[in-house]
Amino acid sequence: MKFVKMHGAGNDYVYVDAFEFPEVLDLDLPKLSVLVSHRRFGIGADGLIVVAPNTEADGEMLMFNADGSRSEMCGNGLRCVAKIVHDRHVRRPELRLMTGAGMKTVEIQAGPDGLAEIVTVDMGAPILEPAKIPTTLEGEPPVERELVAGDRTFRATAIGMGNPHCVIYVDDVMSFPVEKYGPLVENHPAFPRRVNAEFVQVVSPTELIQRTWERGSGETWACGTGASAVCAASVLTGRTGNDVSIRLLGGELRLSWTPGSGVRLTGGAEYVFEGEMPGKWIAESARK
């Protein structure tokens, strides 16, 4: 069974095309994700994404984190899914893709070779009701609420983008100990389904720097839903205007949000390499 390694701004996943290899859908996908994601004993990735047929859409994203947990949505992953569907199956400038967070519309800018080069995703409207995020932080939206994590007290903004996010602003994000406070925020009692933690530095009203600790994966080089949450939080707190450029460890994303509408995220989607999974992984992941 073949796979392709892809990344969006350094947020890397192993992708299996179930249009071509439908047998992958019969496997234990959480177990397979753990096997392929290990960066020493596997392929190395932030998780596994299966690109599957869907009768109501042009394709569907089934996404699993590196620890095998299911994730509802990933903007960087969805751009790569869009590239696979566009380049291999449906050559249209606009696609409808099903995710764990519902139907998403993507716009494709093709390069001279006709292949997808730049992808814009309508990430949907931010979820601002605490019960739906979910979080026990107060406020609707829960903006800059006190959050005690270890020996620090942060001002946290909780936002849902189909998955839960906690945005925290710091003075110097590149020197900030994300590996220390990321797990504390991820597993904080205020977030009953755990949370993705975004640590953000404001450079100007149009430019931000972001580091992300993703639930189930640790620090990743980019996070599209996280960048969308950061864009919305920055508008809500008055730190930026509606259009921002966000620098992440793996590259840059462009985002736009006006309250009452969906967040628009634009960035690339890159192939890294292709390969074939060892038969022992498939045997270990066979459903019992």
**What are 70-94's pLDDT values in tens digits?**
998 999 999 999 999 999 999 999 9
SS3 content of the chain, % helix, strand, coil (to 5): 20, 40, 40
Q: Indicate the burial class of 82 (C-beta count within 10 angstroms; 0-12, 13-18, 19 or more).
A: buried
Reported for 143-147, long-range contacts at CB under 8 A and 24+ positions apart, including other chains, are 143/233, 143/236, 143/237, 144/237, 147/185, 147/188, 147/190
Contact 12, 272 (CB under 8 A): yes
Tokens of 221: 């080089």
Q: And the tokens for 157?
A: 């903004």
The chain-wide mean pLDDT, for the chain, equals 96
Q: How far is the C-alpha of 96 from the C-alpha of 267, rounded, in Å?
A: 17
Domain with 191 in it: what CATH number? 3.10.310.10
Q: Band of the pLDDT at 287, cuts 50, 70, 90? A: confident
What tokens were used for 51? 């690109």
Do residues 38 and 99 both lie within one domain?
yes
DSSP H/E element including 178: helix 178-186
Say whether both 179 and 223 belong to one domain.
yes
In this structure, are 150 and 235 located in the same domain?
Answer: yes
User: Residue 251: what pLDDT?
Assistant: 93
Q: 82 and 143 in one domain? A: no
- Number of structural domains (the chain) is 2
* 78/201 same-domain check: no
Euclidean distance between CA atoms 223 and 253, whole angstroms: 10
| Cα-to-chain-centroid distance, residue 260 | 22
CB contact set of 39 (below 8 Å; sequence gap of 6+): 45
pLDDT value at residue 288: 57
Of 80, 166, 223, 231, catalytic: 223
Rounded CA-CA distance 58/80 in Å is 14
Query: Count of CB atoms within 10 A of residue 5's CB?
Result: 19
Please give the single-letter amino acid code of residue 172.
Answer: D
Mean pLDDT of 254-271: 96
Instruction: Output the six-digit token pair for 242.
Output: 């509606």
166 is catalytic: no
* Residue 135 and residue 85 share a domain: no
| In a shared domain, residues 112 and 166 | no
Catalytic residue among 74, 80, 166, 231: 74
- Do 26 and 102 fall into the same domain? yes
CA 196 to chain centroid, in Å, comes to: 10
Quick one: tokens of 208? Answer: 């931000």
Residue 168 domain boundaries: 130-262
Same domain, 134 and 114: no
Tell me if residue 223 is catalytic.
Answer: yes
> So what's the pLDDT on residue 123?
93
